[in-house]
Amino acid sequence: MNDPDRFREQVDTIFLVDHDSGPIQLRLAEVADGRAGGGFQRFSLLFHGPADRVLPQGTYDFHHDALGSLMVFIVPVIGSNAERIVYEAVFSRPMPAPPAP
């Protein structure tokens, strides 16, 4: 599931996040490619959520129509304002092996 292209196809769609106070809608705003190194590829997902319901840093159950259910660790980050809270999820995965000659 940690393939940036699968998430990139879902930019501007809604993920429902389970929370004790009820589901919270987060919109996938951006997929940011990170650097590669040590045999790993890194990328981030940036979500926008409602300003009146802040989710603390932690792991949450996300639900999406196309991607199904997945557990994601998110952190509120700089960029939040009175209109929205910005959350980031960072992924790291082994680099794909180069094609055989």
Whole-number Å distance between alpha carbons of 80 and 93: 27
Domain 4-94 belongs in CATH node 2.40.30? yes
pLDDT in tens, 32-54: 987 767 778 889 999 999 999 88
Say if residues 48 and 85 touch (Cβ distance below 8 Å). yes
The three-class DSSP label of residue 101 is: coil
Instruction: Please state the pTM of the whole predicted model.
Output: 0.86
Residue 93: its pLDDT value, please? 78
**Rounded distance between C-alpha atoms, residue 73 and residue 2, angstroms:** 12
The domain limits of the chain are 4-94
Q: What is the pLDDT of residues 7-41, one digit of tens each?
A: 999 999 999 999 988 999 999 999 998 776 777 88
